[in-house]
Amino acid sequence: DSGVTQTPKHLITATGQRVTLRCSPRSGDLSVYWYQQSLDQGLQFLIQYYNGEERAKGNILERFSAQQFPDLHSELNLSSLELGDSALYFCASSVDGTQPQHFGDGTRLSIL
Amino acid sequence: AQTVTQSQPEMSVQEAETVTLSCTYDTSESDYYLFWYKQPPSRQMILVIRQEAYKQQNATENRFSVNFQKAAKSFSLKISDSQLGDAAMYFCAYSYSGNTPLVFGKGTRLSVIA
């Protein structure tokens, strides 16, 4: 158990809809990262938050947004969903630069 | 931009034998971190081993060890005494510092033959 909790584990929805993925980092971890794993693009970094502030942005679409709350949990919002958004979405957390990132079990998003 | 290349899409190894997975990377930085993550069929991402670029000594974790060649920008993973539970997708990853996003390779799928 990595200590990083992601909910829900599975999500099935239709094109055009909006979903929210939730991540609770390990206790004490200030950084939260979101990654997308798809068959054609592999594992790609989306966005990072550190102690409530956006720290880095990767290949995140404008239809996607995220935030980190005062209790350090994070949410990734995906809107106007397309078939190509079907993927496994991972959240990872780390305490600081001295420790590696630990991953949650992911949320599998299926767009029908 | 930093890139990570895993040139072996698939590998196989006999149980109890040794296998080496290759990884090369490209960076202009002198200090950075390299990782191997394992993704079994359950799809979890499990940290296998980590190497800090400033350390000359190769990292080891039980049956897992790395061969870190900084000048060649090479970071291979050696799995000794392979077990059936080692069957998984293995990803090589790079980060500029410990608190920056990971850049992943495409992965190597390892099969272990009984």
pLDDT of A97: 63
pLDDT of A40: 79
pLDDT of B98: 66
- The string of pLDDT tens digits covering residues A74-88 is 999 999 999 999 999
Helices (H) and strands (E) in chain B, counts: 0, 12
Vertex B54: Cα angle to B48 and B57 (nearest 5): 60
pLDDT of A8: 97
Pair A73, A27: CB distance under 8 Å: no
Mean pLDDT of all residues belonging to chain A: 94
Amino acid at A96: D
**CA of A47: which chain B residue's CA is closest?**
B101
Q: Could you tell me where the beta strands, DSSP code E, fall in B23-98?
A: 24-26, 33-39, 46-52, 60-61, 64-69, 74-79, 88-95
- The string of pLDDT tens digits covering residues B21-47 is 999 999 998 889 999 999 999 999 999
pLDDT of A98: 67
Residues of B in contact with A102 (CB under 8 A): 47
Residues of A in contact with B97 (CB under 8 A): 97
Neighbours of A59 (CB within 10 A): 11
Per-residue pLDDT band for B9 (boundaries 50, 70, 90) equals very high
The nearest CA of chain A is from the CA of B62 a distance in Å of 18
Q: Is the pLDDT of residue B65 over 90?
A: yes
How many contacts (CB atoms, under 8 Å) link A and B?
56
Amino acid at A92: A
Per-residue pLDDT band for B13 (boundaries 50, 70, 90) equals very high
Q: Which residues contact B57 (CB under 8 A, 6 or more apart)?
A: none
Interface touch A94/B98, C-beta < 8 Å: yes
pLDDT of B99: 75
- Rounded distance between C-alpha atoms, residue A8 and residue A6, angstroms: 6
Mean pLDDT of all residues belonging to chain B: 95
Pair B37, B50: CB distance under 8 Å: no
The DSSP secondary-structure symbol of A26 reads P
**CA of A33: which chain B residue's CA is closest?**
B101
- The string of pLDDT tens digits covering residues A38-87 is 987 789 999 999 999 999 999 899 999 999 999 999 999 999 999 999 99
Structure tokens at B90: 């293995």
Please list the residues that pair with B60 across neighbouring strands: B65
